[in-house]
Amino acid sequence: MTKKLCPITFPLHGKRLIEASAGTGKTYTLAALFVRLILGHGGANGQPQALTPPQILVVTFTNAATAELRQRIRDRLIEAAQLFRGELSQPDPFFSALLADYPPADHPRCATTLELAAEWMDEAAIFTIHGWCQRMLTEHAFDSGAAFDETLEQQSDERLMQICRDYWRHFLYPLPPTLLQAVNPWQSPEALFEAVEPLLERGVLPVIGEELLPEPCAPQALQQPVEQWQAAQQAVLQQLAEVDKADAMAKLDCAMEKGVLNGNSFRVKDWPQQRQQLLDWQPLQQILPSKMVEKYCQQNLTDKTKKAKQQETPTHRLFELLDDLYQLEQGSPLPQATQQLRVHAARWIEAQFIQRKTAERVLTFNDMLTRLQQVLLDERGERLVEGIRQQFPVALIDEFQDTDQIQWQIFNRIYGHAAQQQLALILVGDPKQAIYSFRGADIYTYLSAREQADAHYHLETNYRSTDPMVTAVNQLFDQADQTQADGAFRFVQAGQNRLPFEPVKANGRREQLCYRGQPLAPLNYWLIDTPYPADREVKGSGLINKADYQQLLADYCSGEIAALLSEPQCGFYQGESFTRLQAGDMAILVRDRNEANAIRQALQQRGLRSVYLSERNSVFDSDEAELLQSWLQACHNPDEESLLRLALMLPLSMRSDVELLRLTQEEQAWEAMTEALRGWQQLWQNQGVLAMLRHWLHYMALPQRWLAEPRYGERSLTNLLHLAELLQQESQMRRSLTGLLRWFEEQRQQASGGEGEQQLRLESDAALIKVVTIHKSKGLEYPLVFLPFICNSRILKKGDSGRYYSDRWQQSVYDIELTDATKTVALLAQQQEDIRLLYVALTRARHACWLGLAPLLSGTSPKNHTAQSAIGHLLQLKPQSTAAEMAQACQPLNWQRLRPKDATLSEALETETPTGAALTLTQPIRRSNWWIASYSALQHGGSGGDELADRRSDELGSEMGQKSSGQPKLDTIHAFAKGAKPGSLLHDLLEWSQRQGWATFDPYSDANHAVIEQRLRDHGWEKQTPVIQQWLQQMLQTPLQRGGTLATLPQSIAEMEFWLEVKQVEVSQLDQMITQAIWPELARPALKPTQLNGMLKGFIDLTYLAADGRYRVADYKSNWLGPDETYYTTDAVKQALLHHRYEVQAVLYLLALHRLLTQRQPGYLDEPQRYLGGALYWFIRAPEAGQIQLDIPLTLITALDQMFQQGRAA
């Protein structure tokens, strides 16, 4: 029995379920219950004592929802405090009842309690489900057995993909080509991963036609049975190649002429084409379709011979061999072998995934849930359960319709007997809005939990929409619920409706939407029927195909919107006031990006601007990200012309056909573009990716071109600048161009799966028409909602994959190959969710909604596919329903039918922001020449605002070192590739190994071997893996010049960043001071004359505490000085060091360390020589001979410190 919820008397103990239909004040109710719990309100219906915010567990399902919920509850607590202080003039009914339950003498105490709770909300226990599970595992680590040093990995796709590539190498590469082709239909590791990924999902049972998957079998074990079958098949095909087909065709000609065979199976009109197909068939070179093999095999010819002509059955050796071939095909081990291979791959990948996560101490979101579930259910669970109950006596679970079996088991284990222990588990959700099955949400878990609840409540009043809008939605669903045998949501099972529709009341709205003085109908629709437009009708059937439906309805919808916006008397009336309708009042809800593109293009053609918001609203999943990736690839490989051509041809590159033709035909123009590309690459290397992108943007004139184009405009420019900022941030962690580009590509791959940095919102977006996916719109509301493509639905076929709830297995399953029987079940599950999706879409509207209807064609079937859609079910359409019958189905609902409008946005509506007068300056701008410099700036000179320090600009372009005669010995580090990329890779490996912990690092372990091999493979150097492993081992064990080894360092920090303030320091003066202090007798090139004024930035390869107890810096140099260690003499190393002015770098690094120790090390200023050591410059291709120690005078460091601060020499 469902009860009406009253927030003031709702019992705050036991297991209780609140069903909150769309717009019925769910968040308001949650906040009201929170206020009562803080006050200890309710007596027998309350908790034994008042609770604090950290004691009330609130769980929802997104980070954005937690932030919003936290703020809404905080605001409600503040408002309640004002109530008890007498500062709230018009309290709502809940507050009035709450105030009446306390005597005036208690009001000050209540106000104080509420104010303290509001101030405490930053520590309130409001979490996402994953965040709460992680918190419980770490806070109760001894009870849960969780490790303290595990890190969270938000995205595991790339790790899983790498394991899949390893599987491909280990198991599939060694197979004979014929076997590989037979059992492996996937052409790449990526395709294999796409096939096995559903088998790795949590909480979903993978099946084939509702049968369990076959046992896994290693690919090598499949070789014998498959090869035996292939040999038998080949023998039959060899005989078929030798048989006289002409003689067989003559016998069939005679049988067809005499009518020997069944006319329905062997149609005379089909025979000429099939006859030719059999004659042309080359058995050893071509595959004859299975249907043809079955049709013309001897057994079928015998079976299909008419009874009166049994003696005239055509017989021939060809037909007998086709019999053998058909029997072989029916008994083929290949389908089973393919599935066994898929299962084997899935199990191996899953095992490796667990093993590698354990080795690297990594935790995923799914791990948090499963670990907490496992701990709660085993012998350690009781103690942990009791600890959580004491910590959180009350749990409010929001959006519970999106739960799954594991989440429910966790909360039910903790609060399963809540009533007996004065605990409370309050579940809040709406099964009609359960639309996230693709994320693992399971509506059957919700329904099961509802049956286990102590009591079931509902919120009965809609506060979002107008009375007519609520009535229209009620009428649509209530009519279907009352008249359809399986209910509105198709959940009638065994005569019981497990998901009934309960109409809600309407609170109404003060404003009214009117058009030319008349109220607009709440539900409006367009219907494509014949003869309008007749040219779109397919084959005289009265049906229209999906592409035309989408094009026409996009046109109808955009025309209606243009007409509404162009009408001055269309808007909202509230009393005497009138607010004209704006573009920002409208939302068009779609299923996917394809539908979004169709409607946005139609809007653009009518001069209407829009913004697209989706579930995958990541800036990495944008067209701008595709553009940027193409141009980064072109800049990274400027000699690969195909990459540049691809980048230029992208729409966002804004090159016209004329420009592209000129570039391809005029050699001078093409050379200018390629030279610009090389210049951008150099800029990227020397000044960073942000500087490069700025030059590229302006060279290509993209900002002005985008802003002149409505479909791009501010959105495209904002997205690209956002991406540039993210690239610049990541470049601080990745020195090489290759590493940064690979990171960007990985982010794009992950974003296509729903993750990634979200697009920045623009203020101007609020004024645009919003094109939103229905999934994204959940929880939002809009004055006007358009559903132009609501008849679209997925078409499932036999052999497709699908999700459904299996009564046989009593859980949700993922069927990787639907049969005729399971396809029906999967179609039902799909339609059930589509109906819930439609409910979500319709309930987003405050005032009115528009739907696009049409009788849709599906393939070659003459049936109306709209009958299978959600709207088709609610309108009770049949597969034979015509457009006229669809119109009749809408009549009892009093929907307003519309005809297409041919309107564009009127000029009067296209207002521009007024432009103010330009600022008049009273005096010239004084330029301070303030800039950010790096060591590379001292080498190359330069100043100005666009001079950005690159993390490794001191080495890029200088890795070739000195030329030397002789050839290095193969399989040594001296034979390893030379240049900037190899140098950056060696640096990255040292940095990575330091972060792993040098004391225990083993380059030969399986996990580290895999990482090293992959990093080398990225550059095509994977054959050098043993060389690099040996080199890394030598680096760790080689004695350092001031004692110890890398493996024995007590403290070390890799890549420590520093920023030094510099005030008008002349580089020539700096050069003179350093030259006089360090090897003054040796010649060196002068630094470029410039002035440092601003900030000096850099990264120190290694900062460490040496064996002598002093802090030192080390810098790795991968310069190649010769083919073996004998070339790395002290003189040679000094010469290379001075040639590149590395001693200047060493001084700056020690100055940064001096500044750090001044601030952090007690007693440093009293005895700086006790703590500050020197600089080790390490030419890492010769780990032992390549070291040189620079003992820099302390007087130089202190003099430079003073000069940098004061702008003059000490």
CA-to-CA distance for 208 and 338, rounded, in angstroms? 12
pLDDT for 147 beyond 80: no
Q: Is the dihedral of CA 14, 17, 20, 26 positive or negative?
A: positive
CA-to-CA distance for 361 and 1000, rounded, in angstroms? 15
Sheet holding 455-459, edge to edge: 2-4, 455-459, 14-20, 424-429, 394-397, 56-60, 126-128
Backbone angles phi, psi at 630, to 5 degrees: -65, -40
CA-to-CA distance for 1194 and 942, rounded, in angstroms? 29
Q: Under the phi-then-psi rule, with left for phi > 0, alpha for psi from -120 to 50, and beta for the rest, what region is 3?
A: beta
On the CB side of 217, CA atoms within 13 Å amount to: 20
Position 475, amino acid: Q
pLDDT for 947 beyond 70: no
> For residue 220, is it within any domain?
no
Residues 1017 and 1124 in one domain: yes
Average pLDDT on 169-183 reads 88
Residues 454 and 486 in one domain: no
The pLDDT assigned to 1209 comes to 47
SS (H, E, C) 162-188: HHHHHHHHHHHCCCCHHHHHHHCCCCC
Token output for 587: 């939302």
pLDDT tens, position by position, 327-341: 999 999 999 999 999
Q: Is the dihedral of CA 391, 396, 401, 402 positive or negative?
A: negative
Strand 518-519, strand 512-515: pairing: antiparallel
Select the more confidently predicted residue: 154 or 992.
992
The pLDDT assigned to 380 comes to 76
What pairs with residue 4 in β-bridges?
458
pLDDT bucket at 921, cuts 50 / 70 / 90: low
pLDDT bucket at 747, cuts 50 / 70 / 90: confident
Residues 409 and 468 in one domain: no
DSSP E strand boundaries for 631-702: none
CA-to-CA distance for 270 and 290, rounded, in angstroms? 17
The pLDDT assigned to 758 comes to 60
Task: Show Cβ contacts of residue 1086 under 8 Å, excluding neighbours closer than 6 positions.
Answer: 1068, 1071
Please report, for the domain that includes residue 727, its CATH number.
1.10.486.10
SS (H, E, C) 17-31: EEEECCCCCHHHHHH
Select the more confidently predicted residue: 785 or 643.
785
The pLDDT assigned to 148 comes to 67
Average pLDDT on 983-990 reads 87
CA distances from 68 to 31, 60, 65 (A): 12, 11, 5
Task: Show Cβ contacts of residue 1100 under 8 Å, excluding neighbours closer than 6 positions.
Answer: 1055, 1056, 1058, 1113, 1115, 1149, 1152, 1153
Cβ-count burial 678-709 (b if 16+ within 10 Å, e if not): ebbbebbbbbbbbbbbbbbbeebebeeebeee
> For residue 260, is it within any domain?
no
The pLDDT assigned to 907 comes to 39
> For residue 312, is it within any domain?
no
pLDDT bucket at 918, cuts 50 / 70 / 90: low
CA-to-CA distance for 680 and 731, rounded, in angstroms? 16
Q: Which residue has the tokens 């190994």?
A: 993
Count of residues making up the chain: 1210
Smallest Cα–Cα separation from 527: which of 771, 873, 831, 888?
Answer: 888
Residues 499 and 521 in one domain: no
pLDDT for 961 beyond 80: no
Smallest Cα–Cα separation from 1010: which of 361, 360, 363, 367?
Answer: 360
The pLDDT assigned to 751 comes to 64
Residues 1099 and 979 in one domain: yes
pLDDT tens, position by position, 652-696: 999 988 888 888 778 778 888 888 898 898 888 888 888 899 899
Given the residues 1115, 1124, 1191, 1201, the one annotated as active site: 1115
Strand 1187-1190, strand 1172-1179: pairing: antiparallel
Residues 411 and 472 in one domain: no
Any idea what DSSP says for residue 1085?
A: P
pLDDT tens, position by position, 49-69: 999 999 999 999 888 889 999
> For residue 655, is it within any domain?
yes
CA-to-CA distance for 1127 and 964, rounded, in angstroms? 9
The pLDDT assigned to 1208 comes to 52
Residues 785 and 715 in one domain: no
The pLDDT assigned to 493 comes to 85
What is the longest distance spanned by two Cα atoms in the chain?
120
C-beta separation of 220 from 171 below 8 A: yes
C-beta separation of 636 from 681 below 8 A: yes
Please report, for the domain that includes residue 1054, its CATH number.
3.90.320.10
C-beta separation of 45 from 12 below 8 A: yes
pLDDT tens, position by position, 780-831: 999 999 999 999 998 888 889 999 999 999 999 999 999 999 999 999 999 9
Q: pTM for this structure?
A: 0.70
Q: 974-983, 1045-1054, 1151-1160: which has the minimum mean pLDDT?
A: 974-983
Question: Residue 449, Cβ neighbours under 10 Å: how many?
Answer: 23
CA-to-CA distance for 1054 and 1114, rounded, in angstroms? 10
pLDDT for 388 beyond 90: yes
Tell me, yes or no, if 1115 is annotated catalytic: yes
**Chain-centre distance for alpha carbon 594:** 18
CA-to-CA distance for 989 and 995, rounded, in angstroms? 10
pLDDT for 764 beyond 80: no
Strand 496-497, strand 492-493: pairing: antiparallel
Token output for 724: 């540039």
pLDDT for 1087 beyond 90: no
Q: 174-188, 298-312, 901-915, 1038-1052: which has the minimum mean pLDDT?
A: 901-915
The pLDDT assigned to 1098 comes to 83
pLDDT bucket at 410, cuts 50 / 70 / 90: very high
Q: Which of 758, 783, 808 is the last residue of a domain?
A: 758
C-beta separation of 1111 from 1105 below 8 A: yes
> For residue 128, is it within any domain?
yes
Please report, for the domain that includes residue 533, its CATH number.
3.40.50.300
The pLDDT assigned to 945 comes to 34
- Please give the mean pLDDT across all residues of the chain: 87
pLDDT tens, position by position, 1128-1181: 999 999 999 898 889 999 999 999 999 999 988 888 889 999 999 999 999 999
| Axis crossing angle, helix 381-391 with helix 365-377, rounded to the nearest 10 | 110
Q: 440-444, 661-665, 914-918: which has the minimum mean pLDDT?
A: 914-918
Q: Which residue has the tokens 């600022």?
A: 919
CA-to-CA distance for 922 and 925, rounded, in angstroms? 9
Residues 797 and 742 in one domain: no
CA-to-CA distance for 927 and 465, rounded, in angstroms? 58
pLDDT for 634 beyond 50: yes
- DSSP H helices, 732-779, are 737-751, 774-777
> For residue 241, is it within any domain?
no
pLDDT bucket at 771, cuts 50 / 70 / 90: very high
The verdict on whether omega for the bond into residue 533 sits within 30 degrees of 0, i.e. cis, is yes
C-beta separation of 1192 from 1175 below 8 A: yes
Token output for 732: 């601080």
Position 1126, amino acid: T
Q: Which of 709, 730, 758 is the last residue of a domain?
A: 758
The pLDDT assigned to 942 comes to 45
Give me the domain span that covers residue 598: 510-614+768-817+848-897
Residues 1011 and 1120 in one domain: yes
Q: Which residue has the tokens 């942000």?
A: 690
Residues 497 and 516 in one domain: no
CA-to-CA distance for 56 and 70, rounded, in angstroms? 12
CA-to-CA distance for 1167 and 1161, rounded, in angstroms? 11
Radius of gyration of the chain, Cα coordinates, nearest whole angstrom:
37
Nearest 5°: CA angle at 150, between 147 and 152? 135
The pLDDT assigned to 734 comes to 73
The pLDDT assigned to 912 comes to 39
Strand 14-20, strand 461-462: pairing: unpaired
- DSSP H helices, 783-904, are 820-842, 870-874, 883-890
CA-to-CA distance for 812 and 805, rounded, in angstroms? 4
The pLDDT assigned to 688 comes to 86
> For residue 299, is it within any domain?
no
Average pLDDT on 547-553 reads 93
C-beta separation of 814 from 206 below 8 A: yes
pLDDT tens, position by position, 555-613: 999 999 999 999 999 999 998 899 999 999 999 999 998 999 999 999 988 989 888 88
> For residue 645, is it within any domain?
yes
pLDDT bucket at 108, cuts 50 / 70 / 90: very high
The pLDDT assigned to 615 comes to 54
Residues 791 and 884 in one domain: yes
Q: Which of 424, 459, 494 is the last residue of a domain?
A: 459
Q: How many domains does the chain have?
A: 5
SS3 351: helix
What pairs with residue 1040 in β-bridges?
none
The pLDDT assigned to 556 comes to 95
Q: Which residue has the tokens 């595992």?
A: 137
The pLDDT assigned to 89 comes to 87
Residues 650 and 518 in one domain: no
Position 466, amino acid: T
The pLDDT assigned to 951 comes to 40
